[in-house]
């Protein structure tokens, strides 16, 4: 058992995912051991509720176990950690939506106006001050791209896949968002 773990210790995350897709529990345990600490830190930056973070972690790794075969990897310019983070980010948004849905007041008691989206809540919790204000003033489509690229650390290709946009559109929106952020912070 120890030699199997030692061998897995030297395997990269993409190869670990390929082994997980074949049902290799030791590979899954090694992938979890390597990625869960940074995953938890990134989730905590976006959500202060430990219960939600724990649920998202569990849902993420369950999805990884079930869908590791769907990982296309470097063939499409993605990385194993980017793929994991994409799953976790989606699960976090789902958790915020569920929480918002269960916390809604009855329609008669609801104040008029639009409630912030789950992404807005996550953004407000993770970025504050002048930068946070400038980021929240961006158009939603620009903010999404900037958040994925800068805050979530995804590549242009991973952002394009996550948002369902062409890579050129991601690059253009990122440039526009950065220009607007510079102006707002000047």
The winner for highest mean pLDDT among 45-54, 72-81, 161-170 is 45-54
The answer, yes or no, to whether residue 90 has pLDDT greater than 50, is yes
The answer, yes or no, to whether residue 103 has pLDDT greater than 80, is no
Question: CB 150: neighbour CB atoms within 10 A?
Answer: 15
Average per-residue pLDDT for the chain? 78
The answer, yes or no, to whether residue 13 has pLDDT greater than 70, is yes
The answer, yes or no, to whether residue 123 has pLDDT greater than 50, is no
C-alpha–C-alpha distance, residues 111 and 102, integer Å = 16
How many Å from the N-terminal Cα to the C-terminal Cα in the chain?
58
- The length of the chain in residues reads 186
User: What pLDDT, in 10s, does the model give residues 126-135?
Assistant: 445 666 777 7
Mean pLDDT across 150-173: 82
pLDDT of 121 reads 46
The answer, yes or no, to whether residue 153 has pLDDT greater than 80, is no
C-alpha–C-alpha distance, residues 181 and 186, integer Å = 8
Residue 125 pLDDT grade (very low, low, confident, very high; cuts 50, 70, 90): very low
If we measure between CA atoms, which residue out of 136, 137, 123, 63 comes closest to residue 93? 123
Per-domain residue ranges for the chain?
1-102, 116-185
pLDDT of 124 reads 47
pLDDT of 74 reads 63
The winner for highest mean pLDDT among 35-39, 134-138, 139-143 is 35-39
Residue that the structure tokens 């807005």 belong to: 120
User: What pLDDT, in 10s, does the model give residues 17-64?
Assistant: 999 999 999 999 999 999 999 999 989 888 888 999 999 999 999 999
| Cβ contacts of 122 within 8 Å, gap of 6 or more | 46, 47, 92, 93, 96
If we measure between CA atoms, which residue out of 67, 98, 82 comes closest to residue 148? 82
Residue 102 pLDDT grade (very low, low, confident, very high; cuts 50, 70, 90): low
Mean pLDDT across 84-99: 86
């Amino acid at each position: 058992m120890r030699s199997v773990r030692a061998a897995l210790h030297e395997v990269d995350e993409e190869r670990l995912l390929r082994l997980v897709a074949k049902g290799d529990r030791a590979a899954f345990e090694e992938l979890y051991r390597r990625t869960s600490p940074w995953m938890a830190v990134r989730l905590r930056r976006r959500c202060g509720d430990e219960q939600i973070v724990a649920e998202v972690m569990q849902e993420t790794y369950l999805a990884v176990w079930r869908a590791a075969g769907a990982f296309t990897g470097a063939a499409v310019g993605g990385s194993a950690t980017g793929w994991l983070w994409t799953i976790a980010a989606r699960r976090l948004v789902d958790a915020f939506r569920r929480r918002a849905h269960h916390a809604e007041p009855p329609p008669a008691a609801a104040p008029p106006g639009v409630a912030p989206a789950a992404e807005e809540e996550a953004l407000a919790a993770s970025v504050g001050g002048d930068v946070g204000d400038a980021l929240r003033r961006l158009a939603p489509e620009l903010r999404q791209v900037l958040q994925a690229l800068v805050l979530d650390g995804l590549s242009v290709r991973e952002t394009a896949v996550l948002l369902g946009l062409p890579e050129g559109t991601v690059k253009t929106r990122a440039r526009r968002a950065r220009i607007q952020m510079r102006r707002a912070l000047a």
